[in-house]
Structure 1
């Protein structure tokens, strides 16, 4: 009788142990099946696909920035015309009339200046907007997932809207001076794309660094102001001595501005190919490293912002 009870107890214990082992194995299989294998290449591809998936958010942010910029202003979008127009007048008087600096390709000095003012204002506005874009959208960054690259890209689009509005002044100047464009104007989309690359590259660097080091909010205005004087906005690149051309071309906006003038002025406007190539190489390097730096720091934005 006792042996039968022991055998029954042993059988029950073995059955219980077997059932426990089966449950453990099943839970292990379920955990293994639930594991998502993340590979670097796959993550990177998914990130760029998400940029397209969240295109509506991109449009919403861009439109919001455009609306907020001129909200409750007395003259609204006319500010996008007044600022570059007044700057063009000042540069024309100082460099063209007082300093008697030469124009380029025989173009009237106001057209020379404004052909450079367009890409420079686009770059300067994009730099300022990009650098502060992540801080301004900190609440959004810490609550939901989306590719963070959308935020500075929307800021660049906002600056591009100002660029298009300011182009009205250039059209008016060319009509006033009867300076008609040539076939080179067809290449203008190429130079706009290069201006986008320069603006995004520098903007991504400053946006990512500004999240961690808030000192950059004070550095950016200095960079914009200093860059205005070392870029060929109020003067032509032809006045720069040959021995300084390579150092001068390290400024990425030199190639962008010269490209705009080449397309808009036509009629003999030339480009220093060596300096232009160096400036374009800096633009490409700035764009590639800007994206890489932004992607490297992106995963820490929510923690430090």
Structure 2
């Protein structure tokens, strides 16, 4: 007698139980992705530091020195670095999660396991990169003599959660589409670049003036503005902005998860 396993069309408690039951597999994929990322590279894990550091140097030169972009009365290097730190976590997680199924098609087509494990492990890997790159932020804060508020430190897990949910939700949606339409892998880098410029990563949200309220619906805008307020004291912490960012990320995660679950049963056939 042949047993056919059919994925459910909606997320349920059983899905969480399955993920928990396969937690060792989740750990394996996370470790594998992290190891493969830096395998046979000259500086290894230091790439997690090098990428945001070099971006900070370039943006500080062109936007901070030459263009004189406002930085809320704090030194531009640390201003832009804290934006790049959260943005890199989000953009790298979104990009790699969108390709998680296609990049693991040999496993997806042959072995049954909760497919959600692949995108979740990808985002966790980027969270590890975030933790490594945060070392430079600590150094910059010591150099520029910034002391984060207790409130700011307590907010950090929430900001990471918002970023995690937004990246995972967007990645789940893109991964579902990418299985059938491989154009996604070519369009996504341009989309991420465009999205960066409508997020206050390299500039202050005050530049938007009366239209700054539009940025509030971008969850990463709220995350970056709040991080700067908490760690660099650029402005009072805006709890309404945090609530909007959290709500937006929950909506993105819900849309991504629903899309993923509805198309999951076709993955092995069309990937």
**What is the TM-score with the length of structure 2 in the denominator?**
0.91
Name 1:8's counterpart in structure 2.
Answer: none
Render the CA deviation track for 1:28-70: whole Å, top value 9, x for unaligned: xxxxxxx9xx9x7999332221010000000001100000001
Q: 1:110 aligns with which of 51, 70, 77?
A: 77
What is the deviation of 1:187? Answer: 1.4
Equivalent residue for 2:190? 222
Q: Which of 84, 91, 99 is 2:59 aligned to?
A: 91
Quote the RMSD (CA, aligned, Å).
2.4
Q: Does 1:153 find its partner at 2:120?
A: yes
- Other-structure match for 1:250: 217
- Tell me how far 1:286 sits from its aligned partner: 0.5
Partner of 2:172: 204
SS in 2 for 1:93: helix
Asked if structure 2 preserves the Cα contact closer than 8 Å seen for 1:118 and 1:167, the reply is: yes
Q: For residues 240 and 28 of structure 2, what CA distance do their matches in structure 1 show?
A: 42
Q: Distance in 2 between matches of 1:213 and 1:149?
A: 19
5 Å-filtered alignment, 1:165-204, equals 165-183=132-150, 184-204=152-172
- Please give the TM-score of this superposition, normalised by the length of structure 1: 0.81
Structure whose alpha-carbon radius of gyration is higher: 1
| Distance (Å, rounded) in 1 between the aligned partners of 2:61 and 2:31 | 37
Question: Is 1:265 aligned to residue 232 of structure 2?
Answer: yes
C-alpha displacement of 1:279: 4.0
In 1, the alpha carbon distance for the partners of 2:11 and 2:43 equals: 46
Q: Which moved more, 1:75-84 or 1:89-98?
A: 89-98
Kept after mapping to 1: 8 A contact 2:56/2:80 = yes
Residue in 2 that maps onto 1:292: 258
Measure, in 2, the Cα distance between the counterparts of 1:235 and 1:300: 42
Matched, 1:301 2:245: no
C-alpha deviation, 1:86, in angstroms? 1.0
Contact 1:127/1:220 (<8 A) preserved: no
Equivalent position of 1:127 in the other structure: 94
* Higher RCO structure, 1 or 2 (CA under 8 Å, sep 6+): 2
Give 3-state SS (helix, strand or coil) of 1:134's partner. Answer: helix
Change (3 A) 1:264 1:143: same
SS of match in other structure, 1:300: helix
Among 1, 4, 12, the alignment partner of 1:44 is 12
> How many equivalent residue pairs?
267
Given the alignment of the two structures, is residue 59 of structure 1 paired with residue 27 of structure 2, yes or no? yes
The worse-fitting range, judged by mean Cα deviation, of 127-136 and 252-261 is: 252-261
Deviation of 1:249 after TM superposition, in Å, equals 2.9
> How big is each residue's C-alpha offset from its partner over 1:178-209, in whole Å with a ceiling of 9 and x where there is no partner?
22222122211111111111111111111111
C-alpha displacement of 1:275 = 5.7
Going from structure 1 to structure 2, the CA distance change for 1:169 and 1:257 (only over 3 Å counts) comes to same
Tell me how far apart the structure 1 counterparts of residues 241 and 9 of structure 2 sit (CA, whole Å). 37
Cα distance in 2 for partners of 1:101, 1:128 equals: 28
1:8-87 alignment to 2 at 5 Å? 44-87=12-55
Segments of 5+ residues of structure 2 without an aligned counterpart are none
Q: Deviations over 1:50-103 (max 9, x none)?
A: 010000000001100000001100111111111111111121222222222222
